[in-house]
A and B are shown apart, each in its own frame.
Chain A
Amino acid sequence: MKLTVDGKIHEVDVEPDMPLLWVLRDELGITGVKYGCGIAQCGACTVHVDGYAIRSCQQPVGDLEGEVTTINGLGTPDALHAVQAAWIEHQVAQCGYCQSGQIMSAAALLAENPNPSDEDIDDAMSGNLCRCGTYPRIREAVKTAARTVRSA
């Protein structure tokens, strides 16, 4: 089957019930997408499908409709997305393992709502667990990124 990830078309030969997460990580080698729980409870595997944030661990690849964007396609160290730049500015990460998913959830939020209230931020981000407890910095970084998005 064919799928489009980060602007590239890939051909994979896998079972249709294999979660998108594992197709990305093990078949395509896109390891910025993280495995944390496998049951859509932690958000580490968040990617965009046609701009919407989804949990790739719960998305059978056979049912996938739309183009996938991962953290690796959102921006790069040399061409940062506004959310990634804000994450660096605020030094959000500790272990960093959840941050791919946090950034993808934040980017989807800001694409839809570039002026989110505190409550909007909490609503959009509460599906993403951070075991290191970086939530205070995530909040600040989302607000900084929102300002960048609005002024762009």
Chain B
Amino acid sequence: MGRLKTFTRRAFLIGSVAVAGGVAFGAYMVNKPHANPLLDNLGDGEAALTPYVRIDADGVTLITPRADKGQGAYSVQAALIAEELDVELDQVKIDPGPPSPAYWNTALADEAATFMAPGGGVGESIAYGALSAVMKTIGMQITGGSTTVPDGFVKLRQAGAVARETLKLAAAQKTGAAASELRTEAGRVLLPDGSSLAYAELAPIAATIDPPQDIQLRAPSEWRLIGKPMQRVDIVAKSTGTQSYGIDHKVDGMVHAAIKLNPAQIGPLIGFDAGEALKMRGVSKVVAVTGGVAAIADNTWRAFQAAEAVEAEWGPAPFPATMDEHWQALADSFTEDALDSRKRDDGDVEISIAETGEIISAEYRAPYLAHAPLEPISAIVRVDDDRAEVWTGTQIPRFIQNNVGKIAGIDPEKVTVHALYMGGSFGHRLEDEVVKQAAEIAVQMKGTPVKLTYSREQDMSHDFTRQIAMAQLRGVVRDGKVETYDLGIAMPSVVVSQMSRQGLSVPGPDSQIVAGAWDQPFTIPNQRVTGYRAPELAPISSWRSVGASSNGFFYNAGLDELIHAAGADPMEERLRLCSNPEARKVLEAVAEMSGWDGVLGDGRGRGVALTQSFGVHCAEVIEVSNTEYGIRIDKVWVAAEVGTVVDPVNFDNLVKGGVVFALGHAMNCEITYTDGIADQSNFDSFQGMRMYQCPTIEVRGLENGDRVLGIGEPPVPPAAAALAGAIFAATGTRLREMPFSKFVDFA
């Protein structure tokens, strides 16, 4: 861990290479003598350039390798480069770049190493091996874990700064002026005589100059973009119907495919009869793919209709037939044998519980959930004898190269991946089944680009869902205070399920099982958090905030039960227990914003929750009313500590969106399986929040910390617990299982 961190902080140098008609600037990864799994594929003395800035006769292109699935990643990456490069965002092109092992996500590597090596020692070395395998395969070009900003905050600004200074040297060489007298602005170098040179003109000279390395990044007081409201680079296109997404993409000569998968999740195809389908207008072909059949037609709708018309025989799903059995499997996992991690064990929980007559205990549940971004998944794949091309919206371009290469029987480096805009993800596009299936079809139709579009029903019912999870808590209170909190959490391993689909096994404990619970900023005399590994059930995947999405609810709602038993106030007792200064400021902020002062009365109630996830302390206060139509969520106050808010507008939008996302699912969403078949397959039975249910939300970003952190996920984990606390305050009903609509109505 220490070595990796040292490496990530220090070892990137900004270099340049000549490209056709210009120059590209980026981070060099130099092979250091110390072992680092990121660099195993580099030989001695070799270096790889990660370009972030390309300047040629056409102008300036900023390369933004982290995928934009709606969170504004392209804008924020471009702004970080532009801050130092002195270009305006409306002057530049933005390109996600090709997949490359060079676009390593060091912030996620840190996160992954933490995840894999919780205890150090033997665990660490085993975990290191697993980490190495994963990283080699994907080159760590992965978007996730709220890491885009932490990963790029220094690297991207440094690329911009080095490029700027090199361009100044080029201008000095060309004009004879002293570099120290040159300034830069809006994509031009300004000369002392008042004239100026465009960066594009200087690019060929810049390509011949060794970039200077000792450049001081600008102080925050000099920032012209960071911390100020920015216009997203895609906002006009997204407001005029002119933004093209993956599902809109066209390639010359392409055919449309639709899929009918075994309704029983990941069950096999046994046989099929395409007779009726092949008679339908525009339908040219029906082929088998892994776990299903695909119909090929000349239009998306015709392909949908034809896929539906195929008669197929299916095998069973490889997991229990009823939800009762899924829950039982979790309940049966609270055993020493299934103990996965005990990363927190303060005081002595057992003695405290043995010594007291009154134990508070409860069981909590969180259901499977679909990701369901509004754009259904799609991919275009063309396979030729010695190469393949993929067009899709993805967070894992390197996995796709490998998988398509395998299916097509070609070298992964011969697979070109074009990353397209995504209509949401929430973790959905960390999977690539749609690409693999499109490739399976495409190898049966070589030379023809095949566009596979999922129907909403196929997408939702065959999603790899959020983990199902269960928590058991025990606690003791004394003298109006929380004395003992023992929380056990059982779930299957998300990472094992997800990586198994990439052919990778991940040994060691999975810290996602206790994420959002073991590492919370509350000091309680006796506190223990234990993770239990449930067996694999339905296939699961990373869902916005992963383990913390269920555990933020468990930890906070359980704490609320103890605080209530102690007769204390949920905010005051949290403040008393809070032992981290940053977290305390976050709690104080929401207390102040909401004017928290005890009981509201009149059928109204407030709840509070704080979760630290992805390094971010995020606290929320929620206020509800108990109306004749049910519970109405009136107001939400959110405060989060992120070190530096890069774009206050996007920050505000992402926090509000995270709250709406979390509350909508807590209110009314679950995926349940009967005989392996999802009982929900569209937005009629999996609704989320609608406009009339949306509360007013007030957001405050705090900047007390010295680490710059991402905000995509952290607003999600505390929301359900704050809502449950508010409903308890308003009605006296304690909700211990999501979705809450099973127990209360929502107005």
CB within 8 Å of B: which A70-93 residues: 70-72, 74-77, 80, 84, 87-88, 91-93
Q: Which residues of A contact B235 (CB under 8 A)?
A: 87-88, 91, 93
A-B contact pairs, 20 of them (CB 8 A): A22-B301, A31-B241, A35-B456, A72-B240, A80-B239, A88-B236, A93-B235, A93-B239, A94-B72, A97-B245, A123-B692, A129-B687, A129-B690, A130-B691, A131-B424, A131-B661, A132-B661, A133-B661, A135-B660, A136-B697
Question: Do the beta carbons of B653 and A35 come within 8 Å of each other?
Answer: no
Determine if B375 and A91 form an interchain contact, defined as CB atoms under 8 angstroms apart: no
| Residue from B236, B426, B658, B659 with most neighbouring chain A CB atoms (10 Å) | B236
Distance between Cα atoms of A46 and B240 in the complex (Å)? 14
Determine the distance from Cα of A27 to Cα of B310 in the docked complex, in whole angstroms: 24
A26-B256, A94-B70, A126-B691 given; 20 more Cβ-contact pairs under 8 Å: A21-B301, A26-B301, A37-B682, A70-B241, A75-B240, A76-B240, A91-B650, A94-B657, A95-B374, A97-B374, A99-B238, A129-B688, A132-B70, A132-B657, A133-B657, A133-B658, A133-B661, A135-B689, A137-B653, A137-B656
- Give min CB distance, A93 to chain B, whole Å: 4
Which chain B residue has the least Cβ–Cβ distance from A26?
B299
A136 to B657, CA, bound (A): 9
Contact A134 B301 (CB under 8 A): no
A33: Cβ under 8 A from any B Cβ: yes
Q: Pick the contact of B375 from A18, A21, A33, A36 — CB < 8 Å?
A: A36
**0/1 per residue, B381-395, Cβ < 8 Å to A?**
000000000000000
Hey, which chain B residues are within 8 Å of A132, CB to CB?
70, 424, 657, 661
Q: Is B248 an interface residue (CB 8 A)?
A: yes
Contacts of B195 on A, CB cut-off 8 Å? none
B694 & A135 in contact (Cβ 8 Å cutoff) = yes
Q: Are the CB atoms of B424 and A95 closer together than 8 Å?
A: yes
Flag if B239 contacts A88 (CB, 8 Å): yes
Give CA–CA (A91, B233) in the complex, Å. 10
- Residue contact A96 to B240, C-beta cutoff 8 Å: no
Q: What is the bound-complex CA distance between A39 and B460, given in angstroms? A: 14
Specify which chain B residues have a CB less than 8 angstroms from the CB of A39 in the assembled complex: 456, 682-684
| Complex: chain B residue closest to A32, CB-CB | B241
A37 to chain B, nearest CB (A): 5
Q: Is A50 an interface residue (CB 8 A)?
A: no
Q: Does A114 sit at the interface, judged by CB under 8 A?
A: no
Q: Is B373's beta carbon under 8 Å from chain A?
A: yes
Residues of chain A within 8 A (CB-CB) of B239 are: 80, 84, 87-88, 92-93, 96, 99, 103
Give the total of B residues in contact with A, Cβ under 8 Å: 64
CA distance A71 to B245 in the complex (A): 15
Is the CB of B500 closer than 8 A to any CB of chain A?
no
- In the complex the two chains form, is A136's CB within 8 Å of B694's CB? yes
Residues of A within 8 A of B656 (CB): 133-134, 136-137
Q: Which residues of B contact A126 (CB under 8 A)?
A: 690-692
Chain A residue contacts of B426, Cβ below 8 A: 131
Q: Do A95 and B422 have beta carbons less than 8 Å apart?
A: yes
Contact pattern, B 77-101, Cβ under 8 Å of A = 1, otherwise 0 = 0000000000000000000000000
Cβ A95 vs Cβ B69 within 8 A? yes
A41 at the interface (CB under 8 A from B): yes
Label chain B's interface by main secondary structure. Answer: loop
Q: Of B256, B281, B423, which is within 8 A of A97 by CB?
A: B423
Assess whether B696 is interfacial by the CB under 8 Å rule.
yes
Q: Which of B240, B242, B423, B656 has the most CB of A within 10 A?
A: B240
How distant is A72 from chain B, measured CB to nearest CB, in Å? Answer: 5
Contact for A27 among B71, B247, B299, B424, CB less than 8 A: B299
Mark B residues whose CB is within 8 Å of A.
69-72, 229, 231-232, 234-245, 247-248, 250, 256, 281, 299-301, 304, 372-376, 422-426, 455-457, 649-650, 653-654, 656-661, 664, 682-684, 687-692, 694, 696-697
Neighbouring B residues of A98 by C-beta, 8 Å? 374, 423
Q: How far is the CA of A48 from the CA of B424 in the complex (A)?
A: 25
- Residues from chain B with a CB closer than 8 A to the CB of A137 are 653, 656
* In contact, B281 and A138 (Cβ under 8 angstroms): no
Instruction: List the B side residues contacting A93 at CB < 8 Å.
Output: 70, 232, 234-235, 238-239
Q: Which residue of B lies closest to A132 (CB)?
A: B657
A94 to B373, CA, bound (A): 12
Nearest opposing residue in chain A for B685, CB measure: A41
Chain A residues whose C-beta falls within 8 Å of the C-beta of B691 in the assembled complex? 121-122, 125-126, 128, 130, 135, 138-139
Q: Is the CB of A41 within 8 A of B650?
A: no
Which chain B residue has the least Cβ–Cβ distance from A96? B238
User: Which of B231, B301, B658, B697 is close to A91, meaning CB atoms less than 8 Å apart?
Assistant: B231
A99–B334 Cα gap in the complex (Å)? Answer: 45
Check: A15 CB closer than 8 A to any chain B CB: yes
Q: Sorted from nearest, which 6 A-B pairs have the closest CB atoms?
A: A32-B241, A95-B70, A133-B660, A97-B423, A96-B238, A71-B241
Partner of A131, one of B232, B237, B304, B374: B374
Residues of A within 8 A of B696 (CB): 136
Q: Is A62 an interface residue (CB 8 A)?
A: no
Q: Taking the nearest CB of chain B, how far is it from the CB of A77, in angstroms?
A: 5
B684 engages A41 (CB within 8 Å)? yes
Which single residue of chain B is at the shortest CB-CB distance from A136?
B656
Q: How far is the CA of A125 from the CA of B684 in the complex (A)?
A: 16
Residues of A within 8 A of B697 (CB): 136
Q: In the bound complex, what is the Cα–Cα distance between A84 and B281 (angstroms)?
A: 38
**A101 to B248 alpha-carbon distance, docked (Å):** 15
A51 on the interface (CB 8 Å rule)?
no
Nearest B-chain residue to A105, judged by Cβ = B691
Distance to closest chain B CB from A16 (angstroms): 12
Decide if A42 is an interface residue (CB 8 Å cutoff): yes
Residues of chain A within 8 A of B300, CB atoms compared = 22, 25-26, 35
Residues of B within 8 A of A32 (CB): 240-242
Residues of chain A lying within 8 A (CB to CB) of residue B688: 129, 131
Partner of B683, one of A125, A129, A139: A129
A131–B301 CA distance with the chains assembled, in angstroms: 24
